[in-house]
Amino acid sequence: MKGFVKNRWFLILMLLPDFGLVLAANIEPENNAVKVGLSVVKRVQVDYFLLTRGQPLDFKLSTVSDTGAWLRVYTRVWLSKDDKDDERRYVISFLSPDSSQRFALKTSISASTFGPGEQRVGRWRSFFVRIKPGIERFRLVLDSAPRDTVGIRFSFQAPRRWERVSLSGLKKLTLVKENHGSEQLEGIFYQIHSNQPYEFELNGPCWVRMRTRLNFDPTMEGNQAFILKVEKKGMVIERTLRSKKETGMYYKELADVVAGAERRVSFELADGVHKLKVIITGTVARSGAIMVERLIPEKYE
Tens of pLDDT along 53-97? 999 999 999 878 888 899 999 999 999 877 766 788 999 999 999
Higher pLDDT: 160 or 195? It is 195
User: What is d(CA 189, CA 183) in angstroms, rounded to the nearest whole number?
Assistant: 16
Looking at residues 280-297, what average pLDDT do you find?
95
Please report which confidence band the pLDDT of residue 280 belongs to, taking 50, 70 and 90 as the band edges: very high
Does 23 score more than 70 pLDDT? no
- Is the CB of residue 152 less than 8 Å from the CB of residue 281? no
Q: What is the pLDDT of residue 87?
A: 81
Does 50 score more than 90 pLDDT? yes
Q: What is the pLDDT of residue 224?
A: 95
Q: What is the pLDDT of residue 198?
A: 97
Q: What is the pLDDT of residue 44?
A: 84
Does 187 score more than 70 pLDDT? yes
Looking at residues 140-164, what average pLDDT do you find?
93
Looking only at the bridges linking them, the beta strands covering 149-155 and 163-164 are unpaired
Q: What is the pLDDT of residue 39?
A: 73
Does 3 score more than 50 pLDDT? no
Length of the chain in residues, anyone? 301
User: What is d(CA 94, CA 283) in angstroms, rounded to the nearest whole number?
Assistant: 40
Does 17 score more than 70 pLDDT? no
- The CA-to-CA distance between both ends of the chain, in Å, stands at 55
Does 2 score more than 60 pLDDT? no
User: What is d(CA 214, CA 265) in angstroms, rounded to the nearest whole number?
Assistant: 14
Alpha-carbon radius of gyration of the chain? 29
Range of 7-11, 43-47, 158-162, 209-213 with top mean pLDDT: 209-213
Please report which confidence band the pLDDT of residue 10 belongs to, taking 50, 70 and 90 as the band edges: very low
Please report which confidence band the pLDDT of residue 18 belongs to, taking 50, 70 and 90 as the band edges: very low
Q: What is the pLDDT of residue 16?
A: 44
Which domains does the chain show, CATH number per domain?
49-155 (2.60.40), 163-295 (2.60.120)
Could you give the count of Cα atoms lying within 13 Å of 176 in the half-sphere of its Cβ? 13
Q: Which of 11-20, 109-118, 162-171 has the lowest mean pLDDT?
A: 11-20
CA trace torsion 217, 218, 221, 223 (10° rounding): 20
Q: What is the pLDDT of residue 24?
A: 57
Q: Considering the chain, what percentage of its residues have pLDDT values greater than 70?
A: 89
Q: Taking the model in full, what pTM does it have?
A: 0.67
Tens of pLDDT along 228-257? 999 998 889 999 999 999 988 889 999 889
Tens of pLDDT along 98-137? 889 999 999 989 888 888 888 999 999 999 999 999 899 9
